[in-house]
Structure 1
């Protein structure tokens, strides 16, 4: 019996005073008692599932808080991550994204409007290419564009694509924004690019993110498309917490 099955059994058995804890019984006896409990009270299955769900959510929240504490500098101050907005801003938004993610493209104007409205935001971009080889190529090209001082311009242009980001479309956009394609190709092999992407993969796994876009704003973790008003509210909350420290 694996850990999750044993936890489920233990939760089910708590509803019935069989006189022994699940840990004190062998597997066959536990299974028999669980079946007996379910026959007497079928609704206990859903109750047990809900209890386990809450326990897992609580454990995940604790783990995420620990990651935010231990990885704060890496999330907000990694010198290998592009920073847009105000580099000296008092609140940092970290966005994990993929150029082929439709929700990332939808959130682009929300982010741009927020930066225009609030000139005191640092926006840290973490390339997290999880939607295929085209996404990987786009992420590597965007990070390489830093060497020509065109990350921001290239980033916004890629986010405005009306087609998938693949090698051909990415290079076409690179040419349109004035990038030297030969230099770009060479710079895409820089070890710092693989390091950035690997770090993004590690951080998202630790934070429990499973899709793009995903945001870290102060102590808040937000997944999915977010409108400007909600982003602004989260920024205000982060500022308020910092003022209390």
Structure 2
């Protein structure tokens, strides 16, 4: 069956070449019109008799498309690395000389981000030598005002109190279990210990949110959550991992190993 499949595929390829060759204006096609028609009949008959071949072809196409998308996401992420690393308005936790960086794009009202939060906590506890970047990306802000307020408050906590206070706030908001519009202003104020905004900090925070949105979309992400794991130096498509969606701690851990040069 594999041999027949290969022969059919070869015939179709040659037939396609013949059609293109003819359209290009060549005077001597590989097959006559009658032969082309017969090859098409044979291929159709074979596929009807072996529908599993169509499934295999579909799976192969899907895999190729997924691999192409993954390569594109990695390349786009690599192009944004310098912007992320150099921007001191983005909350970060972990040693400055870390060889590996993990970048999380999230929304406090995203249910999948809520499910990812404890997974990332596990990773952070097991990898304190990694530098973590928290990209406040309130994609649900137009639907749920608390999404935008929580993001702005997080950035205010970062500005006023630094990394440890920010991480406490970040995990604290997710720890409430209030997502998909259930988070309230009162809860945000309580978790943040009532941080206050000023016009100056609000303007700066809005600029940061705009930059994060641009980084996320330019990196090819279409929503939250998103995770990028790469070496701080020498990052390539081979040692960079992008999770465009929910993932688990063991997958992030493996991505960190890959970034470290381990398999």
What TM-score, normalized by structure 2, do the two folds share?
0.66
Match of 1:187 among 201, 205, 213: 201
SS of structure 2 residue aligned to 1:20: helix
Match of 1:110 among 116, 119, 128: 119
Larger CA Rg, structure 1 vs 2: 2
1:103-152 deviations in Å (ceiling 9; x for gaps): 32223233223323332110111122223433233223322332322433
Is contact 2:106–2:138 with CA below 8 Å preserved after alignment?
yes
The alpha-carbon distance between structure 1 residues 229 and 65, as it changes in their structure 2 partners (threshold 3 A), is: closer
Say whether 1:120 aligns with 2:129: yes
- For 2:34, the equivalent position in structure 1 comes to none
The alpha-carbon distance between structure 1 residues 53 and 75, as it changes in their structure 2 partners (threshold 3 A), is: farther
The alpha-carbon distance between structure 1 residues 46 and 127, as it changes in their structure 2 partners (threshold 3 A), is: same
Say whether 1:100 aligns with 2:109: yes
User: 2:224 & 2:246 partners in 1: Cα distance?
Assistant: 8
Aligned length, in residue pairs = 223
Residue 93 of structure 1 deviates from its aligned partner by: 0.8
User: 1:12 & 1:174 partners in 2: Cα distance?
Assistant: 67
User: 1:193 & 1:136 partners in 2: Cα distance?
Assistant: 13
- For 1:156, the equivalent position in structure 2 comes to 171
Residue 188 of structure 1 deviates from its aligned partner by: 3.3
- For 1:5, the equivalent position in structure 2 comes to none
SS of structure 2 residue aligned to 1:112: helix
The alpha-carbon distance between structure 1 residues 176 and 238, as it changes in their structure 2 partners (threshold 3 A), is: closer
User: 1:39 & 1:48 partners in 2: Cα distance?
Assistant: 16
Aligned residue runs from structure 1 range 22-61, under 5 A: 22=20, 38=44, 41-42=47-48, 43=51, 46=55, 49-61=58-70
User: 2:126 & 2:182 partners in 1: Cα distance?
Assistant: 34
- Aligned CA RMSD, in angstroms, stands at 3.7
Say whether 1:89 aligns with 2:98: yes
